[in-house]
Chains A and B, each alone.
Chain A
Amino acid sequence: MPQLEATPDLDFHSETYKDAYSRINAIVIEGEREAHDNYQRLAELLPDNRDNLLGLAKMENRHKKGFEACGKNLKVTPDMEFAQEFFSKLHNNFQVAAAEGKIVTCLLIQSLIIECFAIAAYNIYIPVADDFARKITEGVVKDEYLHLNFGEEWLKANFEASKAELEEANRQNLPLVWTMLNQVETDASVLAMEREALVEDFMIQYGEALSNIGFTTRDIMRMSAYGLSAA
């Protein structure tokens, strides 16, 4: 039986690590910033859930500050321009859906896709993070489960009416996630985060969310793998 390879020792202060971190850290900061804005926008679209959503928005803002501190701790300047470009298509899809009042699409993008991706990435990052970032990320990931839960509960309560729009939104947006993942594959591997582990954790989390909402195993296998092979 072959042996399990040991995790390589990471030098958090090497130029290579810091260079990769400048982009990954920026993505996380930008992701949290956009999540904050998205939940504020959702609060306008769902006035009955306004307080709850504004509370989630506040948490995202706190996460953003936490991750800014992680960058400062390693003396890394986040490449925010790269991060904005990285999110631009998904961000644009959210804006268009919000302008059309498509709440289901907005929730799929922010509360399912982005939250599941964040949870997957944070869970994969935690065991290979520096001590400072590990503590921050452990705190953040607990909150993100709550955010995912908001989307799940709302979509579950409105499942039949939302199903077709969810399928369509999945087709439009999930392939973007795979492309985004490919874009950061090299940087993530410098941080000892493997692409296949990220994809697997995302599919587990996203599949669970779709299951909680009401989709069948068959739907889940089809939807959560959509566009992966083409990416």
Chain B
Amino acid sequence: MFGLIGHLTSLEHAQSVARELGYPEYADQGLDFWCSAPPQIVDTIKVTSATGQKIEGQYVESCFLPEMLASRRIKAATRKIINAMAHAQKHGINITALGGFSSIIFENFNLQQIQQVRNVKLEFERFTTGNTHTAYILCRQVEQASKQVGIDLSTATIAVCGATGDIGSAICRWLDARTDAAELLLIARDQERLQALQAELGRGKIMGLEEALPQADIIVWVASMPKGVEIDPTVLKQPCLLIDGGYPKNLGTKVQHPGVHVLNGGIVEHSLDIDWRIMSIVNMDVPARQLFACFAESMLLEFEKLYTNFSWGRNRITVEKMDQIGQASVKHGFRPLLI
């Protein structure tokens, strides 16, 4: 049994979903209510691999909402994640992916310190951030979508925004080791971490966002923040491939300009329909087939019976682990979303 811990994208979204699913007690409530709401298993998922293997999973709604971060209800936000993890474990789920903000909150607020939740001792080996698969898929998107829009990697400059994060650093490692990308621009806030990454890679230019954007043929956006950023598309190269791998995804609607191709990053398509209701709720274009790569990681680990926290901690994703999850991804019928 695999699990997915997810959440909705805003209070308004949560209210409309609750109404749609027929939970009037939750539909008309404000943020205070959601700050007290318990986690629930709201969907059962059946997935069939391209190999014919079938697995079952459960979707745990944590009741976290991004407004909790924006309005500094941090304790509530951290409780949501920890309680959802305890809920998944109590229900005997072997491997659960922390989707959306869940893994970001877990890492950012050092929630590994909180192992005892009421009468449950959290077994962290039952959870994965899903970041290895997300990073792998983003890299494959860079490689494959660049061809679609006529960008040659061997002469291309790739800007990685959020380069020092768990996913961002993994992408830099892959692009360095597995592609002939001409130039890497490393963008992040923390200078110390940037220098460490540059030293590890032995290449890459450290640059500010405004300076980097006009130079980039490909922009991989993997910074996550409660509120989106504005990118002025007129300063970008033409063509430019902008891969939005951050959470939440919000560049697509904001950046609309000829020659600028925006691709939802870290999204996979499965070759067979998945039996679930929940993805139509999280606004995927093809809800039966498309999903976040981090969610797909828990499915892959279940298919492969790899019951371990495959992606855990910060900056530990190696190219070899990306290979390993990538092979499983291909074997079971997942492919990166392309343009």
List the interface of chain A (C-beta within 8 A of B).
Answer: 1-5, 119, 123, 145, 194-197, 199-201, 203-205, 207-208, 217-218, 220-222, 224-226, 228-229
Asked, given contacts A1-B69, A2-B74, A4-B109, whether A229 binds B119 with beta carbons under 8 Å apart, the answer is no
A203 touches B38 (CB 8 A): yes
Within the assembled complex, what's the spacing in Å between the Cα atoms of A123 and B69?
24
Q: Do the beta carbons of A3 and B74 come within 8 Å of each other?
A: yes
B38 A196 Cβ-Cβ under 8 A? no
Sample (8) of A-B pairs whose CB atoms are under 8 Å apart: A1-B226, A3-B74, A197-B36, A199-B36, A200-B37, A204-B118, A228-B33, A229-B25
Which A residue sits closest to B118, measured CB to CB? A123
B69 touches A2 (CB 8 A): yes
B282: Cβ under 8 A from any A Cβ? no
A222 in contact with B25 (CB, 8 Å): yes
* Known contacts A217-B42, A226-B25: A203-B37 contact under CB 8 Å: yes
Instruction: Determine if A204 and B108 form an interchain contact, defined as CB atoms under 8 angstroms apart.
Output: no
- B190 part of interface (Cβ distance < 8 Å): no
1/0 contact string of B247-284 vs chain A (CB within 8 Å)? 00000000000000000000000000000000000000
B78 contacts chain A at the CB level, 8 A cutoff: yes
The CA of A201 and the CA of B40, in the complex, are separated in Å by 13
B side interface size, CB within 8 A:
33
Contact among A2, A201, A205, A229 for B28, CB-based, below 8 A: A229
- B residues neighboring A (CB under 8 Å): 22-23, 25-26, 28-29, 32-33, 35-42, 69, 72, 74-76, 78-79, 83, 87, 90, 104, 108-109, 118-119, 225-226
7 pairs of A and B residues whose beta carbons are closest in the complex: A199-B36, A225-B25, A204-B38, A203-B38, A196-B36, A200-B36, A196-B35
One of A2, A195, A200, A221 near B26 (C-beta < 8 A): A221
Q: How far is the CA of A2 from the CA of B115 in the complex (A)?
A: 22
**B83→A204 contact, CB < 8 A:** yes
When C-beta atoms are compared, the residue in chain A nearest to B43 turns out to be A217
Residue of A nearest to B63 (CB): A200
Q: Which residues of B contact A208 (CB under 8 A)?
A: 90
> What B residues does A123 contact at CB under 8 A?
118
In the complex the two chains form, what is the Cα distance from A221 to B72 in whole Å? 26
Contact B76 A196 (CB under 8 A): yes
Residues of A with C-beta under 8 A to B118: 119, 123, 201, 204-205
A137 → B minimal CB distance (Å): 13
Give A2 to B75 CA distance when docked, in angstroms: 11
CB distance from A39 to the nearest CB of B (A): 21
Do A4 and B74 contact each other (CB < 8 Å), given the known contacts A224-B38, A228-B33? yes
Residues of A with C-beta under 8 A to B42: 217
Q: In the complex, given contacts A1-B226, A221-B25, A225-B26, what are 11 additional A-B residue pairs having Cβ atoms less than 8 angstroms apart?
A: A1-B69, A2-B74, A3-B74, A123-B118, A203-B37, A204-B83, A204-B118, A207-B40, A217-B40, A218-B23, A229-B33
Contacts A145-B119, A204-B83; A221 near B32 (Cβ below 8 A): no
Q: Are A221 and B69 in contact, CB atoms less than 8 angstroms apart?
A: no
Bound together, the chains give a CA A222 to CA B72 distance in angstroms of 28
B23 near A229: Cβ-Cβ < 8 Å = no
Complex: chain B residue closest to A205, CB-CB: B118
Q: Would you give the shortest CB distance from B7 to chain A, in whole angstroms?
A: 15
A198 (CB) vs chain B CBs: closest residue: B36
Across-interface contacts of A217 in B (CB, < 8 A): 40-42
From B29, B36, B75, contact of A203 by CB (8 A): B36
B residues near A204, Cβ cutoff 8 Å = 38-39, 83, 87, 118
CB of A11 to closest CB in B, whole Å: 21
Q: Specify which of B32, B35, B38, B90 lies most central, judged by the most chain A CB atoms within 10 Å of its CB.
A: B38
Query: In the bound complex, how far is the Cα of B307 from the Cα of A19, in angstroms?
Result: 51
Min CB distance B65 to A, Å, is 13
A26 CB, min distance to chain B CBs, angstroms = 25
Residue of A nearest to B23 (CB): A221
Give the residue among B28, B40, B118 with the most A Cβ atoms within 10 A: B118
Pairwise interchain contact B22-A4, C-beta atoms closer than 8 A? no
